[in-house]
Structure 1
Amino acid sequence: MNKNLFVELFVEELPPKALKKLGEAFGVGIETALNRSGLIWESKVTTYASPRRLAVHFTDVRDIAPNIQISQKLMPVSVGLDANGAATPALLKKLASLGADESAVAGLKRVGEGKAETLMFDSVQPGVALAAGLQKALEDALAKLPIPKVMGYQLADGWSTVSFVRPAHKLIALHGAEIVDVGVLGLKSGRETLGHRFEAAQSVVTIRDADSYAEQLKSEGAVIASFAERRAEIVRQLAAAAAKVGGGVKAIEDEALLDEVTGLVERPNVVIGQFETEFLAVPQECLILTMKANQKYFPLLDANGKLTNQFLIVSNIAPADASAVIQGNERVVRPRLADAKFFFDQDRKKTLASRVEGLGKVVYHNKLGTQGERIERVRAIAKAIAAKLGVDAAAADTAAQLAKADLLTDMVGEFPELQGIMGGYYARHDGLGETIADAVEDHYKPRFAGDDLPRNEVGVVVALADKLETLVGLFGIGQLPTGDKDPFALRRHALGVIRMLIERDLPLDLNEILRLAFRQIDGIVQIGGDPEAHRSHTIFGADAELIPLLRGAEDSLRSFIYDRLAGSLREQGYSAQEVEAVLALRPQRLGDIAKRLAAVRAFAALPEAAALAAANKRVGNILKKIEGELPSSVTPALLAEEAEKALFAALGSIAPQANAAFDSGDYTASLQALAALRGPVDAFFDGVMVNAEEAALRANRQALLNQLYGLMNRVADLSKLSA
């Protein structure tokens, strides 16, 4: 008989950051096993997760699964039956292992022919009972939970030890109103759970049936069991509390913090706290981080995004008078803010420049030296890039030199997430000006997908240099990402380089800046073109034999960057064919990529596009088979056929127009000019034998095709558009 099923595992407080995933995995694990056993079919599944419980509800669960028809392959007929057709000992033994005897031999089926003929045994496997199926489902689900760290604990008998994320105390399993007899972690199923530690009307809540859990737990136990419902309630209360404060303030938006707080409370109650305004003299990033990371508070920002001296507390209790809760939290947060103020005041007693020397004692990588040595490489790359872009090289050098100095400050030592940000504040305090301060702060940007780029040109130069140094250094020593492992965030660094080159439309060739960076890692870089400014760095010490590896890593890094670019473009909505056509040419100016893609898309829409793409592919295949240097000069006197004369004339007419458009950056017009070639190209392949027996004639026709190929593939490799 079909009834709804409910399961709850009641435990001690679960890790709040992991609670959402634990709840989802608990439900999915049980659902998967019940589906496999045939106990559910298209059931609606509802999961619950609170700090002290994981639970799941299923609709339409059978008390016993349907029988399953099974057809099993036994053995070849020649092995299972003797010459008289009687069962051999081997067959009888096999049947016995399946719970059958000699009487089953007559019902065996034969499949196949000749030596491949095989005996098949058909049987009916009884459907699994709910208790047995749920028992296995629970065991499977618990074994597969994404538990951050397992702990062992003793059971009530004082002897047995089990392992789980937290000690488990109660288990509920109800099929309708009936208890399903199952057990895990030393617990036997029942119908009792515990409500809120402090606010429950009664500490023990006896669940009537599978469908009454959420309502009973809320009314009798003062617990919102649903993670999603509890989270939505917190969002609602945060907005209401911010509105109560008034003045257009709003709680800071942080999805991870919201999930974590949802995993900390069973009955949320948002209250408003405040701190002394004197703390607002500390950079707001410091105050926000300490309130969020240490206290799980939601800071309040004004309409201009500036931090106020009020914050929101998500409490797990709702007393009639919340003043004690508020005062307690205010008393706790005050020392945290005082620490931040102390760090800020202490750090400003030393300039960033005075800290640079100390970076020579901080190991960056055992094969790439110290942060001090790394900074020298970043400086050299930054100055070289600045010179190419016409950016203030002195400012770029200063910003690059100071970029990592805040790693040695007390504030960044306490809050590593603030590196760069604090460097910007301290640079302003040192009187270095907004340009350098912004560049120091922004040189980590973009830190993640969708993050802003550096605000000024100097910042872009230093950010490029920093990311390039990281990429070429780690590729040079063979520390490449593998699978989903990328401990040095090289994919993010590559995407950062790509975004800056494209979105700022920087006039830099990718190969050129990679060679520039690799030369610096290799130990030698020419700065500003001044022979007197050559600088040599020996960064490997005893590992100098690794230098040849650096030189061999450039191609790998270049391919890595183009792969990241291809993935990014596909995510932006470009087709795989469009992306492949453009990137097949390895365009060096990444700022041109969008225009090339637009041109390819417009060309592909032309009625002539398919035929020209196919012809282009054919031309490319012909040219690949030519040994030695490709002929490029066409001798008009050797053009014998009318079709090749017509193609030569068409090229002479269309090439100037297409090339002029290309040189002016109008890639769409350049490609569209090629449409006029369809007729001459089709006629050429219909009427001309390229590989003529006469060598001079053959070479002349190959040269004609080489010119055609070069003209057609300046913007993109059009053969990639061929189906």
Structure 2
Amino acid sequence: MTNVSPAAYRPLLIELLTEELPPKVLQKLGHAFAEGIRKILDQQHLLAEDCAVTDFSTPRRLAVRLSAVLGQAPEQRYIEKLMPAKIGLTENNEITPALAKKLASKNLEHLTAADLTHGSDGKQDYLYAEGVSSGAQLEPALQEALDHAIAHLPIPKVMRYQLADGSSSVKFVRPAHQLVALWGDQVIDIQALGLKSGRKTLGHRFMSAQDIELTDPTTYEQQMLDEGKVIASFTDRRALISRQLHGQAQALGTTIGTGSEVEALLDEVTALVEHPTVYVGEFEQQFLSVPPECLILTMRLNQKYFPLFEPDTGKLTHRFLIVSNMQIDDPSNIIEGNQRVVRPRLADAQFFFETDLKTPLADRVVSLASSVYHNKLGTQLNRVERVRKLARHIAEQLGADITHAGRASLLAKADLNSNMVGEFPELQGIMGAYYAAADGEADDVVLAIRNQYRIRLDTPVESTTLTSAIVFMAERIETLLGIWGIGLVPTGERDPYGLRRAALGLISAYEQLLAGGYLGISDTATLNLHGLLSHAAETFELGVIAPGTIDEVQTFIYERSRNLLSHDFDRHVIDAVLALKPALHQVQTRSAACAAFALRPEAASLSAANKRIANLLKKADTAPADLDYSLLSEPAEKALADIIATLEPQAQAQFAQGDFSGSMATMAQARDAVDAFFNNVMVMADDPAIRSNRLALLNDLHRNMNQVADISRLAQ
């Protein structure tokens, strides 16, 4: 670093100019680059406490500006714990070879035995080195920071390229061309990827042909805009594009739509342009006869256009918006060029759709026999047959139309070999629904085909969506059991077959069937989870599913339920409820009841008592027999038997009606009798008959207290 005074804070700018970076990760790369540099400089005490960090990212650059950076950090006091004194010093108080090696590793070899201090760590006498070290200098610290930032970028895939010397090569996400490092108005001498730092950079690839010589970090954004025609800030660029899009759409009496797809496209086009300008394009209205999803997908996915919609109806129009990287007075060539590019894609979509309509969807089912689902699970047709059988079984239990459930399951995957889905796999199910409707299939069958790929059900099931819910459930159960059964169990963050998502979707189906009235809160027989999994297992060929799969999948589903509940309930409450493996549609209601019980003044005492009871029952030699009232002799045990006899009918009735909170509140009235029993009665009496009878009494209490949840798990 040349002529740098460390006396005051100055702004620092680092910019790495590259070839076009991957657009879908550009913003993440920009944040990571800035954070990597900030982290190391902060560790070296070179940043002011209020130092502002601003990251920049464009298609061809990653940059960061730090508002207050020192040329050299202040002196730093240090205390280094070395080793036990008996190991580090000889009897003559001289440094041993072991300590000398330790000191050298910490660059403290200049210290003598007299320079070291002694202190106890509570067990033995230790040696410590104390002193003041000079603060880190910016130049080497910045080199370390840049190396760290580059090494820790979340790069999806690196490439190796040759440097200008023609002999050496480096690895990076894209070839890098220039490096800027400015501290105030001074260049910091660092290097990376075969580049040496300077103050020159490049602007827009087409709108700025000359090098830009940056004055200092504070002028970066303005110089890039004025001289380079580049909006360096990703956030500012995105906001500008958004304003232009909404402005153009409003002027045309349309909207760009809403939702995650629009936001994701906005992020992507922001990463593709450095000087955005929005223009209006259009296509022939004849293409609007094609399902809008096809046109929207090809415009967004392939061309990065923003389709325009009627604001009142949401209907697709024949216009779209282009986010260009050029601002020119006459954009007609840009507009006409984009219209020329999109027209053949829309024509292809029209051709695919019209061609697919010539073959009834039902006639496509047989072609699934040639599509492998998994080499251990057979073809897509094999899978369709399994789902179909399971869907008909579920429909029968729910009193739904078995024929429609079977028909929807049969046709659900028939569009996989269609021309349109072959071109746009994202349209699976959507195109099947269009083809089914064109073939005159029932409305609920069409809707079930369309809804099969939803992540979860989020509205109560109605008569019109009952078939959809049935097919949705059947497919997820088949997926969970089949994929798990052949050993493809999720591990850590890896879940390539989406089993976690399938389990969450299945849970949502139970919840929405309850909300829609197709499952009663007290009904545990209909759609019993273990029963469904067992029935599904029978649809697979013998020997395909590994032993124990049913129980493992059931446990897996309850664990996903646990994760959902953790947002609303204490873990002890969740443990208490899930310990009983209740019907999935009861889990939420039981958890709310258990949480309310946990707040009652009786909860702590009853939970502890139930934990004690559970332990006593485990130690019993045999299962407790029925209670013999004539063997009760102590007042406290008679009182407990009486209160159980009084409360049990009411608690049982409340439980049967799904009033879980009421049932738990009723049994909470037994607290005083329970406390008196344990204070005054010896359960494990010497007389075997008395002992067995008291265990029977506690077993009755335990059974009634733990209908809703295992309250012993509430005990802290």
* TM-score between the two structures when normalised by the length of structure 2: 0.92
Partners of 1:19 and 1:51 within 8 A in 2: yes
Q: 2:537 aligns with which of 497, 514, 518?
A: 518
**Structure 2 vs 1, CA of residues 105 and 5 (structure 1 numbering), >3 Å: closer, same or farther?**
same
Partners of 2:362 and 2:411 within 8 A in 1: yes
User: Deviation digits for residues 61-96 of structure 1, max 9, x if unmatched?
Assistant: 111123333444555545554444445566566656
Residue 586 of structure 2 is aligned to residue 578 of structure 1: no
Q: 1:652 aligns with which of 634, 645, 652?
A: 645
User: What is residue 387 of structure 2 aligned with on the other side?
Assistant: 378
Aligned-residue offset at 1:594: 2.7
Partners of 1:502 and 1:593 within 8 A in 2: no
Q: 2:280 aligns with which of 268, 272, 277?
A: 272
What SS does the aligned partner of 1:504 have? helix
Q: 1:640 aligns with which of 630, 633, 651?
A: 633
Amino acid across the alignment from 1:652:
A
Residue 27 of structure 2 is aligned to residue 20 of structure 1: yes
User: What is residue 527 of structure 2 aligned with on the other side?
Assistant: 508
User: What is residue 569 of structure 1 aligned with on the other side?
Assistant: 565
User: What is residue 711 of structure 2 aligned with on the other side?
Assistant: 718
User: What is residue 160 of structure 1 aligned with on the other side?
Assistant: 168
Aligned-residue offset at 1:118: 4.6
**Structure 2 vs 1, CA of residues 382 and 183 (structure 1 numbering), >3 Å: closer, same or farther?**
same
User: What is residue 624 of structure 2 aligned with on the other side?
Assistant: 630
Amino acid across the alignment from 1:582:
V
C-alpha distance in 1 between matches for 2:641 and 2:100: 83
User: Deviation digits for residues 74-121 of structure 1, max 9, x if unmatched?
Assistant: 555455544444455665666566666687233233345999545444
What SS does the aligned partner of 1:669 have? helix
Residue 371 of structure 2 is aligned to residue 362 of structure 1: yes
Aligned-residue offset at 1:439: 1.3
Partners of 2:255 and 2:308 within 8 A in 1: no
C-alpha distance in 2 between matches for 1:712 and 1:251: 50
Q: 2:342 aligns with which of 313, 333, 338?
A: 333
**Structure 2 vs 1, CA of residues 231 and 96 (structure 1 numbering), >3 Å: closer, same or farther?**
closer
Aligned-residue offset at 1:243: 0.5
Amino acid across the alignment from 1:514:
L
User: What is residue 536 of structure 1 aligned with on the other side?
Assistant: none
What SS does the aligned partner of 1:24 have? helix
Is 601-610 or 358-367 further displaced after alignment? Answer: 601-610
Instruction: Map 1:278-677 to 2 at 5 A.
Output: 278-302=286-310, 303-445=312-454, 447=455, 456-505=465-514, 506=519, 507-523=526-542, 544=543, 546-547=544-545, 549=546, 551-571=547-567, 573-588=568-583, 590-631=584-625, 633-677=626-670
User: What is residue 56 of structure 1 aligned with on the other side?
Assistant: 64
User: Deviation digits for residues 256-306 of structure 1, max 9, x if unmatched?
Assistant: 211111100111111111111111111111111111110001111222222
C-alpha distance in 1 between matches for 2:396 and 2:663: 32
What SS does the aligned partner of 2:236 have? helix
Amino acid across the alignment from 1:157:
D
C-alpha distance in 2 between matches for 1:428 and 1:113: 79
Partners of 1:197 and 1:203 within 8 A in 2: no
Aligned-residue offset at 1:125: 3.5
Partners of 2:456 and 2:509 within 8 A in 1: no
Partners of 1:383 and 1:394 within 8 A in 2: yes
Residue 695 of structure 2 is aligned to residue 699 of structure 1: no
User: What is residue 202 of structure 2 aligned with on the other side?
Assistant: 194
User: What is residue 156 of structure 2 aligned with on the other side?
Assistant: 148
C-alpha distance in 2 between matches for 1:383 and 1:77: 78
C-alpha distance in 2 between matches for 1:685 and 1:30: 65
- Structure 1: where are the runs of 5+ without partners? 524-543
Q: 1:226 aligns with which of 221, 229, 233?
A: 233
Partners of 1:16 and 1:260 within 8 A in 2: yes
**Structure 2 vs 1, CA of residues 421 and 390 (structure 1 numbering), >3 Å: closer, same or farther?**
same
Amino acid across the alignment from 1:388:
Q
Partners of 2:281 and 2:339 within 8 A in 1: yes
**Structure 2 vs 1, CA of residues 86 and 499 (structure 1 numbering), >3 Å: closer, same or farther?**
closer
User: What is residue 683 of structure 2 aligned with on the other side?
Assistant: 690
User: Deviation digits for residues 608-656 of structure 1, max 9, x if unmatched?
Assistant: 233222222222222222233233x111111101111111111111111
**Structure 2 vs 1, CA of residues 247 and 122 (structure 1 numbering), >3 Å: closer, same or farther?**
closer
User: Deviation digits for residues 309-357 of structure 1, max 9, x if unmatched?
Assistant: 1111111112122222211111111111011111111111111221111
Partners of 1:268 and 1:317 within 8 A in 2: yes
C-alpha distance in 2 between matches for 1:199 and 1:33: 36
**Structure 2 vs 1, CA of residues 21 and 451 (structure 1 numbering), >3 Å: closer, same or farther?**
farther
C-alpha distance in 2 between matches for 1:99 and 1:436: 76
Residue 716 of structure 2 is aligned to residue 709 of structure 1: no
C-alpha distance in 1 between matches for 2:493 and 2:473: 24
Amino acid across the alignment from 2:706:
N
Partners of 2:47 and 2:70 within 8 A in 1: yes
**Structure 2 vs 1, CA of residues 621 and 47 (structure 1 numbering), >3 Å: closer, same or farther?**
same
Q: 1:11 aligns with which of 18, 32, 56?
A: 18
What SS does the aligned partner of 2:13 have? strand
C-alpha distance in 2 between matches for 1:254 and 1:493: 26
**Structure 2 vs 1, CA of residues 678 and 50 (structure 1 numbering), >3 Å: closer, same or farther?**
same
Instruction: Map 1:164-183 to 2 at 5 A.
Output: 164-183=172-191
C-alpha distance in 2 between matches for 1:703 and 1:310: 78
Aligned-residue offset at 1:147: 1.3
Partners of 1:176 and 1:210 within 8 A in 2: yes
C-alpha distance in 2 between matches for 1:56 and 1:210: 9
C-alpha distance in 2 between matches for 1:598 and 1:55: 50
Residue 242 of structure 2 is aligned to residue 235 of structure 1: yes
C-alpha distance in 1 between matches for 2:328 and 2:272: 18
Partners of 2:95 and 2:113 within 8 A in 1: yes
User: What is residue 527 of structure 1 aligned with on the other side?
Assistant: none
C-alpha distance in 1 between matches for 2:591 and 2:336: 60
Aligned length: 695
Percent identity over the alignment is 49
C-alpha distance in 1 between matches for 2:153 and 2:338: 34
User: What is residue 217 of structure 1 aligned with on the other side?
Assistant: 224
Aligned-residue offset at 1:143: 1.0
C-alpha distance in 2 between matches for 1:562 and 1:95: 55
Partners of 2:459 and 2:512 within 8 A in 1: no
**Structure 2 vs 1, CA of residues 593 and 115 (structure 1 numbering), >3 Å: closer, same or farther?**
closer
What SS does the aligned partner of 2:11 have? strand
C-alpha distance in 2 between matches for 1:331 and 1:4: 48
C-alpha distance in 2 between matches for 1:97 and 1:652: 76
What SS does the aligned partner of 1:212 have? helix
Partners of 2:565 and 2:588 within 8 A in 1: no
C-alpha distance in 2 between matches for 1:162 and 1:450: 50
C-alpha distance in 2 between matches for 1:593 and 1:83: 70
* TM-score between the two structures when normalised by the length of structure 1: 0.92
Aligned-residue offset at 1:597: 2.4
**Structure 2 vs 1, CA of residues 669 and 2 (structure 1 numbering), >3 Å: closer, same or farther?**
same
Partners of 1:406 and 1:412 within 8 A in 2: yes
**Structure 2 vs 1, CA of residues 103 and 677 (structure 1 numbering), >3 Å: closer, same or farther?**
closer
C-alpha distance in 2 between matches for 1:92 and 1:692: 70
User: Deviation digits for residues 440-481 of structure 1, max 9, x if unmatched?
Assistant: 222222x26969989621121111111111110111111100
Aligned-residue offset at 1:206: 1.8
Amino acid across the alignment from 1:406:
D
Amino acid across the alignment from 2:538:
R
What SS does the aligned partner of 1:153 have? strand
- Structure 2: where are the runs of 5+ without partners? 1-7, 520-525
Partners of 1:152 and 1:164 within 8 A in 2: yes
